[in-house]
Amino acid sequence: MHAAAPQTLKPPVPYTDAAIKAGIAHEAANGPSHVRIKALGMMARITGLFEQGKQLGKQLAHEVAQAKDQTTEKLSGVAARVAGLMNGTLQPTAEELAHFEPDNPLDDEDHPRETDDEPP
């Protein structure tokens, strides 16, 4: 009696990774439209593009949320400062006052605006 030699389990050719990918790629290129859509989705999953896209989408959504939070924090501080200045609870700093020129009511009287109706 001979001992049976161990056999390696190799799948038939149609079930190898390369054959499956080739078959799906063929359907993605040559099948009817509903088959092409499904085949492209399968190709994306098999090659890892689907997961990469999902991870990239999550990462971008997280970055956008962080940027939004930072902007909201900055704007809420500015909004609180403006509200305090408007209701009189805060006083403007010298730096803030330097950006504004005081209104001079005499400017309009000294230099009247010219209109099209009046000759210069």
Q: Are 28 and 22 in contact (CB under 8 A)?
A: no
Three-class SS state of 92: coil
Q: Are 57 and 39 in contact (CB under 8 A)?
A: no
Identify the CA nearest to 11 among candidates 19, 23, 3: 19
Q: Are 42 and 24 in contact (CB under 8 A)?
A: yes
Q: State which amino acid sits at residue 91.
A: Q
Element (H, E) at 43: helix 33-47
Provide the phi-psi class of 88: left if phi over 0, else alpha when psi is between -120 and 50, else beta: left
DSSP state of 12: -
pTM, full prediction: 0.41
Report d(CA 27, CA 19) in Å as an integer. Answer: 12
Q: State which amino acid sits at residue 104.
A: N
pLDDT of residue 44: 86
Would you give per-residue pLDDT tens digits along the chain (120 residues)? 566 666 777 767 777 888 888 988 999 899 899 989 999 888 888 888 888 888 999 999 999 999 999 988 888 888 888 888 888 888 888 887 777 776 665 655 555 565 666 655
